[in-house]
Amino acid sequence: MQIASPVNALRLAGFLIFLVASAEALAQANTADIIEQARARARQVEEIKQVLTDPDQNVRLAAFEGMVDSGDPLMREIALDTGLASTDRVLRGLALKHTILGLAQLSITLTVDDSAPKPVQDKSVKYLEKNGNNYILTFDPKGSDLNRGFFHPPGNLHWAGNVSGTVVTFNYGKYTGELILQDDNTLAGLVHYNQGGGHRFKATAPLR
């Protein structure tokens, strides 16, 4: 095996030191760029949030529409989160419509409605024992109409639902329901299973 001369060894060591130093400098430069980009993005996000709470409702609604249609996933999420939490009922309803019609499915938890007549409660208990307490509301994104708030499940044009204001209603064959947007940004209401004399459930569903 050939042994490197002292001169070559020094040159190799110097080259390695140069590579390490260059890599560290590049990493520092990249890190600085990332930090600056993050700060710029944070400033942009903060400015947009302020626009979404502008005293002028027309400004709020225009900003919301621009954000959800921007093609920027972060801007869309900020618009939806801010809209759902807004005290502006119109903006809140618009955010709910965009959220619902942007889903592939909504997972609804069912519990027996204790205000229903006793025979209905008994049937509802048996339903949950047999089928479980989860009902999945599915959406066909190609069949949704954002302007009307209309939706239906994949492959079935006879079943349909609607988002109007802060209320989601649906008639999916044996299942019908009405869910209302709550202050904690969940949906809550009633779901009916209309077979065998009828069943009635309290229903809740997280949106985010």
C-alpha 200/C-alpha 123 separation (Å) is 9
Of 105, 161, 97, nearest in space to 134 by CA:
105
Mean pLDDT value across residues 168-183: 96
pLDDT higher than threshold 70 for residue 6: no
**Which comes out higher in pLDDT, residue 142 or 133?**
133
Residue 35 to residue 27: CA distance in whole angstroms? 12
pLDDT at 59 > cutoff 80: yes
Is the pLDDT at 51 greater than 60? The verdict is: yes
Please say whether the beta carbons of 103 and 144 come within 8 A.
Answer: no
Per the model's pLDDT, the better-predicted residue between 75 and 152 turns out to be 152
pTM over 0.85: no
Q: Which residues contact 136 (CB under 8 A, 6 or more apart)?
A: 105, 106, 107, 108
Average pLDDT score over residue span 87-94: 95
Q: Judge whether residue 175 has pLDDT over 90.
A: yes
CB 66 within 8 A of CB 78: no
- Closest Cα to residue 186, out of 168, 198, 174? 168
**What is the DSSP code string of 172-183?**
ETTEEEEEEE-T
